Amino acid sequence: MMQFIHKYGSPRYYYQWSKGWQKWLSIITVVLLVIGLYQGFFVAPPDYQQGESYRIIFIHVPAAWMSMFVYMVMAFAGIMALVWRIKVAEIVVGECAILGASFTAMALITGMLWGKPMWGTYWVWDARLTSELVLLFLYFGVIALHGAFDDPRTGAKAASILAIVGVINIPIIKYSVEWWNTLHQPATVAKFDKPSMHISMLIPLLIMAVAFKTYFLSLLFMRSRSEVLAREKNASWVKEILKEQS
Amino acid sequence: MKEFFAMGGYAFFVWTSYAIVAFLMIANVVAARMKRKRIFREMQELAEES
């Protein structure tokens, strides 16, 4: 197991194996987005209560899921960075924070634009909305700490600690709609019995959710690959890559 | 077609949501490309100096 982690996490080997993944994931993302948007707008019927406004769900829910998923990836990378000092994991913490913050912003903005016509207000300080806003600030904190030190490895260490401590917020977001009385509706898809959503709406939602996931992974690979080169700029294998490029 | 863009009266909310998400997703891709270019440029300069 440790051998596996050190092999795939070594900067040089990571740079090699992630190249193909990045390329294919970005192609898959485009294909899935086209299919998902087509199904979401042209196949799924209007909602019997919310009319056409519910179509925001196809971006709102995937973005909200990603805001939590990316956080878990970031915290897991934080553990690897702290416990095993994996350089690539340190980089992943920083890149996850930037991408996670943008997914959280997407979830909040689309939620506000959906809330206005359905609830009559852009914002309420209820449990789900507030805990998601706290998540955005956690991401900002990780970004700030990651870049706050002259030594990037010290910054990554500090950012990893915040990322791991902040995991406490994730179950709060997830269960906020059950623990407190909120305006936000409870889970429609991710629950133990059958999702209470018609299949023609569920399919585009799940396709969009996978598209957001592959989008995240392809960008994570792209950003972290560049960062690996920057951190390893004195290594001979990086100099060789540079020679090939010029 | 006109009916499609009207979104049953919710055009502003639906299309603004999609526009903002599209903008952020594209901005992320552009930022990642710029990061890559910047790092390659910096390394090139470093190599020329030495």
Q: Which is it for the CA torsion A54, A57, A58, A60, positive or negative?
A: positive
Mean pLDDT of chain A, nearest integer: 93
Q: Give the mean pLDDT of A182-200.
A: 77
Q: Does this complex have an ipTM over 0.90?
A: yes
Flag whether pLDDT at A186 surpasses 90: no
Average the pLDDT over each of A43-52, A156-165, A178-187 and give the range with the smallest value.
Answer: A178-187
B42 CB within 8 Å of a chain A CB: yes
> Is residue A178 predicted with pLDDT exceeding 90?
no
Our count of domains for chain B comes to 1
Q: Does residue A194 surpass a pLDDT of 70?
A: no
The owner of tokens 């960075």 is A81
Torsion over CA: A204, A209, A213, A215 (sign): positive
DSSP letter for each residue of A159-172: HHHHHHHGGGHHHH
User: For A116-133, what is each residue's pLDDT tens digit?
Assistant: 999 999 999 989 999 999
Task: Measure CB to CB from residue B24 to each of A52, A55, A105 and give the nearest one.
Answer: A105
Whether residue A213 lies within 8 A of chain B, CB to CB, comes out as no
DSSP assignments along A63-95, one per residue: HHHHHHHHHHHHHHHHHHHHHH--HHHHHHHHH
- The confidence band for A188, taking pLDDT boundaries of 50, 70 and 90, is confident
pTM tops 0.90, yes or no: yes
Q: What is the dihedral of CA A239, A95, A159, A112, to 10 degrees?
A: 160
Reported as a single tens digit per residue, the pLDDT across B6-46 is 898 899 999 999 999 999 999 999 999 999 999 999 888 88
DSSP reduced 3-state for B9: helix
pLDDT level of residue A179 (50, 70, 90 thresholds): confident
* Confidence (pLDDT) at A44: 92
Residues of A with Cβ-Cβ distance to B1 under 8 angstroms? none
The Cα A71–Cα A17 span in angstroms is: 24
Residues in B closer than 8 angstroms to A229, CB to CB, are 39-40, 43
Reduced to 3 states, what is the DSSP secondary structure of residue A180?
coil
Residues A218 and A128: their CA atoms lie apart, in Å, by 29
Using a pLDDT cut of 90, give the percent of chain A over it.
Answer: 78
The number of angstroms, rounded, from the C-alpha of B34 to the middle of its chain's C-alpha atoms is 11
For A233, which residue in chain B has the nearest alpha carbon? B43
Is residue B17 within 8 Å of A113, Cβ to Cβ?
A: yes
Q: Note the pLDDT tens digit of each residue in A200-234.
A: 999 999 999 999 999 999 999 999 999 999 999 88
Contact list, B30 vs chain A (CB under 8 Å): none
Distances in Å between the Cα of A100 and the Cα atoms of A87, A142, B48 are 20, 11, 36
- Let me know: does A198 contact A49? Beta carbons within 8 Å: no
More confident residue, A1 or A192: A1
Amino acid A191: pLDDT: 63
Question: Mean pLDDT, to the nearest integer, of A160-172?
Answer: 96
Q: Quick check: A135 and A67 in contact, CB under 8 A?
A: yes
Print the domain residue range for B18.
2-49
Q: Which two tokens stand for residue B17?
A: 């949501």
DSSP state, A43? I
Instruction: Give me the mean pLDDT over the A129-150 stretch.
Output: 96
pLDDT in tens, A32-91: 999 999 999 999 999 888 889 999 999 999 999 999 999 999 999 999 999 999 999 999
Cα B43 to Cα A45: distance, rounded to the nearest angstrom: 53
Cβ contact (<8 Å) for A229 and B10?
A: no
Are A114 and B17 inside 8 Å of each other by CB? yes
Tell me the CA distances in angstroms from A231 to A59, A87, A147, A227, B39, one per residue in order: 35, 9, 14, 6, 10
Q: Could you say which DSSP state residue A42 is in?
A: I
